[in-house]
């Protein structure tokens, strides 16, 4: 097949006898031999792997991971691509999603570039959190693409050195179903979280073999074996800094440079002024709320809303000294319904939703509080495009957009968009 444009999801588009084939491990412009991995004769499209390159792109490079490629680990999509070209492909995907799903055709979108963030080594050694699955032999592994098959690994080259050290020192995990390793940005030891098989207690390595905190996941929560069941993450943006507590496998950006890059972009776009009122929606452990509070000062106010109870507990610890911050636990749409009933308005809103986006109801509620600016932090360009379209239907337009390469070697990308009231005609 002749390979066409990149598509959202880490593959490129090709055609065979009139049908679309989504091809992994290829590059636009290449001619490749494809093994079909999913699909039947009656399906509208097929999926496949490029198993032989007949005409290579000049942007193709040898993979630096021994288990990357067809039939290997599904974690990395672009190990075979130069880092510069990876970022161009990601920008192409964001532009295509905003064109197609949001109907945007503007220099702002057309001129988008993907920015690197500090903290990786030419696209490697950046991932601070890795959740491994365990093979039938009890060895660390990662799953194949769109499969439950486990690919055993010795160490993951996109993981930071402290994660790789644990992978190499403790390759065998008898009685475990999963092992997550967290290497925080501060000086804390890594945290290892072990999921057992059924109700059996896994065989755990001794302290002499594993220089890390250790806990076992149980139906009642984390059972501490030694050390802490949480880590401290440090963030610095200009002259502002914070130390955030994150419990267990709670959400935190996995690239060490991502939190500072995203906070910096949000503050730059919103330009918070002392005394303003802000909403931090899908607030997690309170990162954006803390940064906003510092800019708004004691006369301002931030309401942080988060649905995950573990994240809420961490946020209360992280933000307890900031008296201008309130924290409400609950589903964002339900909390916003109460906010609107009270007549509350907000000058600023930060939206950092999960991968499927904020959704129509939340967008409509955000518009109803009439903020002067919304900063939308998006980990999925399709979800961003859908929500930007909903904002536009309610009088808010996209007027700033940045994209960050927080996940080198993969198709994932983080965007920060600013939405403001559109001029009245």
b/e 274-285 (16+ beta carbons within 10 angstroms → b): eebbbbbbbbbb
- Report the alpha-carbon distance of residue 1 to residue 322 in Å, rounded: 59
Reduce the DSSP state of residue 383 to 3 states and report it: helix
Residue 31 pairs in a beta bridge with 2, 55
Q: Is 253 annotated as a binding residue?
A: yes
- In the chain, count of helices (H) and strands (E)? 9, 22
**Cβ atoms of residues 263 and 291 within 8 Å:** yes
Instruction: Give the CA distances from residue 381 to residues 8, 9, 95, 375, in Å, rounded to whole numbers and listed in that order.
Output: 8, 10, 9, 15
Give the N- to C-terminal CA distance of the chain in Å, as an integer: 50
> 224-229: long-range contacts (C-beta < 8 A, 24 or more apart)?
227/189, 227/191, 228/188, 228/191, 229/191
Give SS3 for 193: strand
SS3 320: coil
391 assigned to a ligand binding site: no
Report residue 241 as tokens: 């800094």
Catalytic residue status for 379: yes
- Find out whether 419 and 413 touch, Cβ atoms under 8 Å: no
Other C-beta atoms lying within 10 Å of the C-beta of residue 253: 24
Tokens of 220: 């009642």
The whole-angstrom separation of Cα 21 and Cα 316 is 48
306 is in an annotated binding site: yes
Distance CA 324, CA 351 (A): 19
Torsion angles phi and psi, residue 157, rounded to 5: -70, -15
Instruction: Please state the φ and ψ torsions of residue 381, each to the nearest 5 degrees.
Output: -65, -30
Q: Which of 12, 379, 406, 415 is catalytic?
A: 379
How, if at all, do strands 396-405 and 114-116 pair? Answer: parallel
- Alpha-carbon distance values, 86 to 68, 264, 339 (Å): 16, 23, 42
Taking Cα atoms as reference points, which of 274, 345, 280, 347 lies closest to residue 312?
280
Q: Residues 259, 242: contact at Cβ < 8 Å?
A: no
| 86 annotated as ligand-binding | no
List the binding residues. Answer: 253, 282, 306, 352
List the binding residues for S-adenosyl-L-methionine. Answer: 253, 282, 306, 352
- Catalytic residue numbers read 379
């Amino acid at each position: 097949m002749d390979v066409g444009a990149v598509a959202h999801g880490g593959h490129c588009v090709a055609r065979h006898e009139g049908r679309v084939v989504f091809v992994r491990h290829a590059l636009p412009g290449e001619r490749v031999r494809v093994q079909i991995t999913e699909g039947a004769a009656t399906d509208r499209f097929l999926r496949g792997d490029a198993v032989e390159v007949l005409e290579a792109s000049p942007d193709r490079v040898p993979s630096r991971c021994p288990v990357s490629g067809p039939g290997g680990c599904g974690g990395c999509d672009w190990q075979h691509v130069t880092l510069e070209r990876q970022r161009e492909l990601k920008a192409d995907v964001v532009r295509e999603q905003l064109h197609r799903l949001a109907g945007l055709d503007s220099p702002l979108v057309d001129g988008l570039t993907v920015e690197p963030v500090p903290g990786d080594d030419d696209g490697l050694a950046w991932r601070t959190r890795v959740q491994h699955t365990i093979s039938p032999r009890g060895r660390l592994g990662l799953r194949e693409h769109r499969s439950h098959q486990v690919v055993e690994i010795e160490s993951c080259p996109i993981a930071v050195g402290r994660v790789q050290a644990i992978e190499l020192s403790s390759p065998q995990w008898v009685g475990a179903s999963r092992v997550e390793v967290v290497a925080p940005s501060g000086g804390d030891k890594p945290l290892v979280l072990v999921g057992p098989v059924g109700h059996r207690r896994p065989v755990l390595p001794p302290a002499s073999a594993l220089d890390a905190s250790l806990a076992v996941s149980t139906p009642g929560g984390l059972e501490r074996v030694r050390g802490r069941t949480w880590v401290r993450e440090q963030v610095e943006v200009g002259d502002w800094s914070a130390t955030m507590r994150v419990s267990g496998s709670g959400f935190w950006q996995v690239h060490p440079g991502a939190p500072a890059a995203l906070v910096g972009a949000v503050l730059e776009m919103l330009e918070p002024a002392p005394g303003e009122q802000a909403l931090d929606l899908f607030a997690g452990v309170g990162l954006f709320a803390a940064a906003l509070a510092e800019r708004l000062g004691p006369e301002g106010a931030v309401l942080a809303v988060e649905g995950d109870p573990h994240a809420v507990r961490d946020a209360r610890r992280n933000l307890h000294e900031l008296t201008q911050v309130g924290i409400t636990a609950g589903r964002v749409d339900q909390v916003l319904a109460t906010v609107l009933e009270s007549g509350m308005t907000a000058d600023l809103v930060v939206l950092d939703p999960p991968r499927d986006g904020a959704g129509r109801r939340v967008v409509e509620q955000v518009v109803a509080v009439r903020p002067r600016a919304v900063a939308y932090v998006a980990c999925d360009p399709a979800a961003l495009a859908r929500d930007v379209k909903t904002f536009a239907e309610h009088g808010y337009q996209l007027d700033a957009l940045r994209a960050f390469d927080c996940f080198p070697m993969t198709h994932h990308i983080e965007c920060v968009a600013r939405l403001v009231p559109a001029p009245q005609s």
